[in-house]
Amino acid sequence: MQGIAQVRSRTVVLPVMDVDTDQIFPARFLATTSREGLGHALFADWRFDPSGRPRPEFVLNRPEAKGCSILVAGKNFGGGSSREHAAWALLDQGFRVVISTSIADIFFSNALKNGLVPVRIDETTHAWLLAHPGAEVSVDIGEGTVALPDGRRAAFPMDPFARHCLLHGVDELGYLLSRKPDIEAWELARGMLSNSGREPWIVPEKD
């Protein structure tokens, strides 16, 4: 993952409540395990008609949506199955932030682990964002704030460890690997690791 400290962008507004992961990324596209090229399937049942032609009225098909990296969704976003593809597809489409008043826990976790910033915002700020599609908004991950065009700032909660991972572009495994010297020093101090770097309870194989 790439580290991310701030996202400044116009918003795309999807004012639909209770959007689940099957609507974000329909099940028929789940055959792939690749994270690349999944943007074409994002909201596919809404973006395209049965013959595969884009629906011009859908928000992602409008010219003003091009280049936007902040999605403002309705309440209760990302429920349903735990498919990680939903976060992958949003990222592949170019989104780096999803804002709502409520975001399902599993989707929230999947987003964080892949570098997509899930923002749970207060009702008043959310209502303003829904009413002003295309507004230029700045999301500061370090400060945990959303800045509106009129200068107002709204705070959003985020776990400190999740914030660290986003800012430094690492997941849990990457974080553990970055602390390998500290872990080995701790194990050596407690006799859990030999000076050779081998766990003391492992007998080396004979040549």
Backbone phi and psi for residue 13, each to the nearest 5 degrees, phi listed first: -105, 125
Q: In this predicted model, what pLDDT tens digit does every residue of 129-179 receive, in sequence order?
A: 999 999 999 999 999 999 999 999 999 999 999 999 999 888 776 666 776
End-to-end CA distance of the chain: 41
Q: What is the model's pTM?
A: 0.84
Whole-number pLDDT of residue 180: 75
Q: In this predicted model, what pLDDT tens digit does every residue of 44-62 receive, in sequence order?
A: 999 999 999 999 999 999 9
Whole-number pLDDT of residue 206: 55
User: In the predicted model, is pLDDT for residue 33 greater than 90?
Assistant: no
Q: In this predicted model, what pLDDT tens digit does every residue of 60-114 receive, in sequence order?
A: 999 999 999 999 999 999 999 999 999 999 999 999 999 999 999 999 999 999 9
Question: Residue 189 — pLDDT band, cuts 50, 70, 90?
Answer: confident
The 3-state secondary structure of the chain reads CCCCCEEEEEEEEECCCCCEHHHHCCHHHCCCCCCCCCHHHCCHHHHECCCCCECCCCHHHCHHHCCCCEEEECCCECECCCCCHHHHHHHHHCCCEEEECCECHHHHHHHHHCCCEEEECCHHHHHHHHHCCCCEEEEECCCCEEECCCCCEEECCCCHHHHHHHHHCCCHHHHHHHCHHHHHHHHHHCCCCCCCCCCCCCCCCCC
Whole-number pLDDT of residue 190: 76
Extract the tokens encoding 14: 């999807």
